[in-house]
Amino acid sequence: MDILDLDAHAQADALARRQFSAHDLMQATLARIDAINPVVNAIVSLQDPDALLAQARAADAAEREGWLHGIPIAIKDLANAAGLPTSQGSPLFAGQIAQSDDLMVARLRAAGAIVIGKTNTPEFGLGSHTYNPVHGRTRNPFDPSRSAGGSSGGAAAALATRMLSVADGSDMMGSLRNPAGWNNVYGMRPSWGTVPPSPEGDMFLHQLSTAGPMARSPTDLAMLLDTMTGPDPRLPLCQHSHACAPTIAEDPGALRIGWAGDWGGAFAVEEGIMTFSENALRQLESMGHHVAALKAPFDADAMWQSWCDLRSFAVAGGLADIYDDPARRDALKEAAQWEVGRGVALGARQIQQASEIRSDWMRAATALFQKIDVMVLPSAQLWPLDGTLDFPKRIAGRAMDTYHRWMQVVIPASLIGLPVVNIPCGFNDDGLPGGLQLIGPRGSNARLLQLAQQWHVETLWPQTRPPEV
């Protein structure tokens, strides 16, 4: 078997048994990147191959540091990895070299990972479509004319094409879910606070985004999540969490699954998405779970207004200094200028009202999860979109009034920090992948991973390789 077809935990086991070397794995990885990356453009800022091979030889000669010892990984280009550029997809930061690792990256290195480069992302991670003026467009491996999704589109495409066996990502508005669904892999947004951010800047107000793992198997999701997690004394809101990998193979039992569909018609959904999703739900039912349709458990318009205000408030917090500088504002893409313009115009009362709506939804969701164990939604409201578009302007005849309205389906989990695992569910008649969001109450990371593992054993969808591979 091609060693690049192995999941990361299988690679780790083979390395520990010296069935092949880290040097062998790095050679194979670099050869795959050389062959495939020109097609999909997923890996950016790749480091010097000779230097990477030298690091792999050093790993072979050293004592094992952790389960990732000798395994190549590329970091999403929103996070800092010492010695590598962190462009964030923006010309304003192109070529800027990180002086230190972000906390999550430091933990991956401490587990033995070899950082080979970065994975592509939209500018500042805004938009579920990976393209930017620094590194260009990431293409979908199953149809290079289509989008790989975003903002972790580079990571998802690299996993699908076997350029990486495991990857980090981040998720504010579906960035670990949409690209996972569109690339036939797994992505997990853990409960907010499970993976601590770096202790920089504001550490209290902006509770929308989180880092998380992506992989071709739930076991790898669990192992990478366990590596990323753990409280940091400098951070006030991170949570203690139990390791998920040791229990990944446990039977989650017969779960009560609530199918939220298109949220009572509130979400515009492309033809075929609902039928595709319901076919997967029937398979979950055949595995012993009870599936029932849900009425919309909260007002979608109120949720959307809360989300837009809190998201703009958060984006403005990070980019307002650039926006306020006339010499640099025009370097921001239109979506970023729109977000910051909204954010700086918000008053305290509007922000408070947005947070109160979020609190109301949290109370409603808590009550809902007394009746069900898992809520299910599609990973995205449409199939992978035309890669030449900036965003879809209409879905099912309904106009999209913002650059991100087409990803409204991810808001129920994002707004209140619920854990979500995207599971790949196969392909439509055009060969395009899709997935489902498995959403649980806060703190249910382990149970969602057990359900995803049960699904994986039944389906093995990520073993279906893209045509280029």
The catalytic residue among 45, 90, 151, 209 is 151
Q: What is d(CA 342, CA 456) in angstroms, rounded to the nearest whole number?
A: 42
Instruction: Say which residues have a Cβ less than 8 Å from residue 106's Cβ, sequence separation at least 6.
Output: none
* Cis peptide bond upstream of 145, omega within 30: no
Q: Is 306 a catalytic residue?
A: no
The catalytic residue among 152, 170, 175, 209 is 175
Residue 220 sits at the vertex; the CA angle it makes with 45 and 216, to the nearest 5 degrees, is 70
Q: Is 393 a catalytic residue?
A: no
Nearest Cα neighbor of 425 from 366, 364, 380, 375 is 380
DSSP code string of 130-162: -EETTTEE-EETTEEEEE--SSSHHHHHHHHTT
Instruction: Say which residues have a Cβ less than 8 Å from residue 151's Cβ, sequence separation at least 6.
Output: 76, 78, 121, 122, 125, 126, 127, 128, 130, 169, 170, 175, 179
Which amino acid would we find at residue 273? I
DSSP code string of 238-283: ------SGGGTTS---S-EEEE-TTTTTTS---TTHHHHHHHHHHH
Maximal C-alpha separation, the chain: 62
Length of the chain: 469
Q: Is 175 a catalytic residue?
A: yes
Q: What is d(CA 438, CA 458) in angstroms, rounded to the nearest whole number?
A: 16
Q: How many Cα atoms sit within 13 Å of 252 on the Cβ side? A: 26
Q: What is d(CA 369, CA 378) in angstroms, rounded to the nearest whole number?
A: 19
Q: What are the residue ranges of helices labelled H in 324-440? A: 326-329, 334-345, 348-368, 411-416
Nearest Cα neighbor of 466 from 207, 124, 104, 144 is 144
Q: Which tokens belong to 76? A: 């999403």
Active site residues: 76, 151, 175
